[in-house]
Each structure stands twice: as structure tokens, then as C-alpha cells.
A and B are shown apart, each in its own frame.
Chain A
């Protein structure tokens, strides 16, 4: 037993000694694999040199980036200057001249049954100075003008405009009279329906331009005004078109100056999408003859577009003195219309739906039923704000059925 215990103790001591010896031996071997402190110091120094070199290179790159940005800025400034120079050289009148226009092509079904290049209009505007400009508008109707042809060429506008200061202006020349909604603004994308509405066409009568002088401007709080004196109507006194304003337009074409007319308008558009207006005209003698046949025109309208909803409503009335006009029932002529609409965006543009009810009567002074009623339903599509495709259907109710033409209309129009 004693020998066994002694053998165990001896073996344990031997094992412990061997383990210690093995550990010491391994440690010595590992110490031999690590670099020496001198070697590690050399590595650290080399790495520090590399870091310093990288830092220096980065600084250089940053400087080059800044220099490059400065060069790019300078190049951009030169390019911008050259672009400006290119716009203004060589200098000439054309630099202050601009061209625009509009046009429309129609298809009318029903009895009319025709395709018509109804209008092509060119504007030419020239700016003489900051406060003096010239504006003109030439129109070709129905494609071909000349003797025996359907069309005509008209000088629709040609006036000089002078700035008077304080948002006041003066115009002299041939200009559109400030009456109605469409007389001054009638580019195809600006109104519903293929044809211009019957009330403004037959009563106002749109498009109505005369030669004369006008002052206009803003009064504040959303009010603006026009006051003009211009060549007047010269209506026939006999025949089917006697005392009809549309047929009495002289359009500054060797117009008689015996009896000019005066037109004034007060307009309010002090709220986005809302225009309210009233116009009046007086002419001492619309027959331009020895007998004074006084004529008064009053027109009022609302043109509203709030969000997608729109509403146009207009009333116009003529009062013409004289026995001759009264005998024909043309001493009173009036018209009105109401046009609600709804316009909304679609992926390819905008669509507008409208309905219009119109009534006009060029012979309202007698007791006979001579009023013309027209109902239209239609749609406009604007693939671009300046381009419009139109379709509508009109229902006519006239005293004489031969004057009615229920029909489908198509149109395409543009402005630029």
C-alpha cells in the first residue's frame, strides 16, 4: 500500500513537471515567431510614412477638385455670356418683333355639311420701346379669298399702344371693341364649342373691330376700364339686313367718319377665376345719314372658372331709335346665353364638358316670334394647353324651320 501511494505521488509530480516543461518550451518557440520590437517599430514608421503620403495626396486632390470647380464655374460664366450675346447680336428690329397666331378647321354636319378651314390668323407684335409697341392681327377666313371665293382677308387689329404710367395705357388704330367675352379673346383653345356662340356673333356682333383711339387701365381693387371713340356702324335702312349690327360693321375700311361711336367698359376680376363686366356703346346715328338714328348697346357678363367648374353667362341688348327701325321690329335686339362647364385632367391632357343654352332675337321690337334658341352639348380635349379638339351637337329652335340645323360639329384649333 505504501509503495502504491508513493508511486502515485511520484507519477503526479512527474506529469506536472512535464507539463511545465512543455509550456515553457512552447512559449520560447512562440517568442521566437513574433517580430522583435525593433522590427515592429520599423513597420510602424513605414505605415506612418504611408499615411502621411496618402494625406498629402488627398490634400492635393482636394485642391485640384476646388480648382476644377473654379474652372467649371468660369467656363459656365463664359458660356452664359456667349449665350446672351448670341441672343442679341446682330442687333436689329427683329429682336423686338414677335409672331403668333391661331387657326381652326371645322366639320359641320347636318344641312351645312361642309369642311372648312374657318380661320387662320397671324399676329405680329413689335416693341419700339419699353412703353411703346405695335400690335397687328391679320386673318384669312375660309381658306381662299378673292372675287368669287368664299374667303376673305381682314385686318383684324393694327394699333399702337402707349404706356401712360400708373398702369394706364392708350391705343390708337384698329382694335377690338371691349364688349362681350369673345370679342377680344377668341382663340380656339379659350372657348367651348366648334363655332362661336350665336349671341355674341349676332348681337354684339363678334368679332367687332373699329378704328379709333382708346384709353384703358386699372383702377385698383380688381377694377379695370376701357373708354374709346371709334368709327361707328353703318347699317342698311332697308332690306333683309336693315338695322342689323353685324351687317353694319365698317371695320375701318374707308369707314364713314360722320358719326363715330363711343364704347366704355368697367370690368372686375379681383378674385381668381372670376370676371364680371359691363359695357356700353352709344352712336348718334348708326345709319351715317342725315337722319339721326341713335343706338345704344349694353352688355354684361360673368365669366367664372373655379376649380374644375366653369360658368359663362352673358346678356346684350340694342335699343335703336327711329321710325324705320321700329317699323321693322329692329328697334330692340337682344340675346343671352348661359354655359356651365366642367374641366378635368386626364393622363394625356385635359377634357372639358359643356352645355350652352342661347337665345337671340334681332327683331324683338315687334310682336312676332322671331327669337332663335339653340342648345349645345359638347366636349373639348386639350392634349396641350394651346391645342384643342372639339365636338358638339346643336339643337336649333327657330321661328322658321328652314333656319334650323340640328347637327354634329367637329373642330380642331390651335394657338401659338
Chain B
């Protein structure tokens, strides 16, 4: 019986269909949902000068990109960001309105554990939060046991999106 159990276990592994990294929502769908079905054309914000320094303070490391793409309509802006959890990137979308978080959505999760951060019970905690002067969110966010690094990555991206939204002016950046 023990041998059968072991063989069953290994057969399960070998015969299992291959799986891809988890894509929960495509960026296009996220943007369409965030702007009542019609996302505005994308714009660019440059991470230079003081903004680059502030970004590094919020991220805890230098920003990977020189330019960040965003979508904006009046006081509402949407950002699609990446941040490493433990070893892999987590892609999440953020909608900022009047300098507060209006929506958080994990779009793609590539880590082997910690995927619970995609659930609304976790992401809904961010709704209404803003960025304080000390680079902390205006309210604490409860984590998920066993997903500490994924939780931290989503928090970092939320703060980064708030920081970027603060620096967006309508006349500033050109469309790509």
C-alpha cells in the first residue's frame, strides 16, 4: 500500500497538465474597467531629479524604469506596476483618485506562494488610503500569514502609485 501511494504521488506529478503563471486580469481589461469602458490614451512620467529620489525612498531601491506609463482622466489616474515578492515580479494595477487609492487589483502573480494577496479581502484594505509625508500609508494594512513578502510588495506598489499620482500634472507629460 505504501508503494502504491508513493507511485500514485509521482504519477500525479508526471501526468499533471502544465500550468502557466497566474494571470488574473489583463492590463487592458483592468484599464477599461477603471475608466468606464474607455481608457484614455497613455501618458508618460519621467523619474528624474527629486521624483527619482522620492521613488527610491518609497520603493526601498532604485526604480527599475526611467519612465512610467499611466492613464489619466481628470483627477483619476491608473498605474500598472511591478514589484518583486520573494524572487518573482508581481504585477498589480492601482487607480488613484484625488490622491487616494480607489482600486487595487493584482493582475499577474508569479511567485510560488503568497498568492492570497489577490483576494478582495486583502486588496480592499487599501481603498481610501493616502500617502503620508513619512512615506507610510495613512492606515496600516493587515498582512497574510505566509505571504509577508507578497504583502510587502503590494504595499510598496500602492505607495509608489500614490507618489507618482502626486507628481502628475495635466500639462506635464507627452503621450508616447
Do A and B share a complex? yes
Minimum Cβ distance to chain B for residue A131 (Å): 4
Judging by beta carbons under 8 Å apart, are B6 and A76 in contact?
Answer: no
Judging by beta carbons under 8 Å apart, are A79 and B16 in contact?
Answer: no
Minimum Cβ distance to chain B for residue A120 (Å): 19
Number of interface residues of B (CB under 8 A): 43
Across-interface contacts of B74 in A (CB, < 8 A): none
Judging by beta carbons under 8 Å apart, are A167 and B10 in contact?
Answer: no
Of the listed stretches A27-35, A267-275, A328-336, name the one at the interface; the rest are far from the partner chain.
A267-275
- Is residue B171 contacting chain A, with contact meaning CB distance below 8 A? no
Judging by beta carbons under 8 Å apart, are B17 and A164 in contact?
Answer: yes
Minimum Cβ distance to chain A for residue B91 (Å): 14
CB under 8 Å from chain B, chain A span 373-410: 385
- Is residue B116 contacting chain A, with contact meaning CB distance below 8 A? yes
Minimum Cβ distance to chain B for residue A332 (Å): 26
Across-interface contacts of A79 in B (CB, < 8 A): 66
Of the listed stretches B92-100, B142-150, B161-169, name the one at the interface; the rest are far from the partner chain.
B142-150
Q: Indicate whether A76 sits within 8 Å of B46 (C-beta atoms), given known contacts A161-B112, A385-B152.
A: yes
User: Contact check: which of A98, A162, A305, A385 meets B16 at CB < 8 Å?
Assistant: A162
Judging by beta carbons under 8 Å apart, are A272 and B2 in contact?
Answer: no
Judging by beta carbons under 8 Å apart, are A69 and B174 in contact?
Answer: yes
CB under 8 Å from chain A, chain B span 27-45: 44
Judging by beta carbons under 8 Å apart, are B86 and A269 in contact?
Answer: no
- Is residue A165 contacting chain B, with contact meaning CB distance below 8 A? yes
User: Contact check: which of B19, B88, B145 meets A131 at CB < 8 Å?
Assistant: B19
Minimum Cβ distance to chain B for residue A218 (Å): 7
Minimum Cβ distance to chain B for residue A397 (Å): 30
- Is residue A125 contacting chain B, with contact meaning CB distance below 8 A? yes
User: Contact check: which of B6, B13, B122, B174 meets A73 at CB < 8 Å?
Assistant: B174
Judging by beta carbons under 8 Å apart, are B19 and A269 in contact?
Answer: no
Across-interface contacts of B121 in A (CB, < 8 A): 222, 270-272
A245 to B12, CA, bound (A): 30
CB under 8 Å from chain B, chain A span 332-377: 345
Number of interface residues of A (CB under 8 A): 54
Judging by beta carbons under 8 Å apart, are A275 and B145 in contact?
Answer: yes
- Is residue B119 contacting chain A, with contact meaning CB distance below 8 A? yes
The residue on A at minimum CB distance from B13 is A170
Judging by beta carbons under 8 Å apart, are B20 and A131 in contact?
Answer: yes
Q: Indicate whether A307 sits within 8 Å of B142 (C-beta atoms), given known contacts A163-B19, A165-B16.
A: yes
Across-interface contacts of B18 in A (CB, < 8 A): 129, 131, 163, 165
Judging by beta carbons under 8 Å apart, are A260 and B6 in contact?
Answer: yes
Minimum Cβ distance to chain A for residue B38 (Å): 24
Across-interface contacts of B67 in A (CB, < 8 A): 76, 80
Judging by beta carbons under 8 Å apart, are A272 and B66 in contact?
Answer: no
Judging by beta carbons under 8 Å apart, are B13 and A100 in contact?
Answer: no
Across-interface contacts of B140 in A (CB, < 8 A): 307-308
A80 to B63, CA, bound (A): 12
Judging by beta carbons under 8 Å apart, are A229 and B9 in contact?
Answer: yes
Sorted nearest first, the 9 A-B pairs with minimum C-beta distance are: A273-B142, A163-B19, A272-B142, A275-B145, A165-B19, A213-B9, A98-B87, A164-B16, A170-B13
Instruction: Known pairs A229-B2, A274-B145; list 15 more (Cβ under 8 Å).
Output: A69-B174, A80-B66, A83-B64, A129-B18, A130-B21, A131-B21, A162-B13, A165-B17, A215-B9, A215-B12, A271-B121, A273-B145, A275-B145, A305-B143, A308-B140
Q: Residues of A with Cβ closer than 8 Å to B?
A: 69-70, 73, 76-77, 79-80, 83, 98, 100, 125, 127, 129-131, 133, 135, 161-170, 172, 184-185, 190, 212-213, 215, 218, 222, 229, 259-260, 262, 269-275, 303, 305-308, 345, 385
- What would 28 A/B residue contacts be, using CB atoms closer than 8 Å? A70-B174, A73-B174, A73-B176, A76-B67, A77-B176, A83-B64, A127-B88, A130-B19, A135-B112, A164-B12, A164-B16, A166-B19, A167-B22, A168-B16, A170-B9, A172-B13, A185-B145, A213-B9, A222-B119, A229-B2, A229-B5, A229-B6, A269-B144, A271-B121, A272-B141, A275-B146, A305-B143, A385-B152
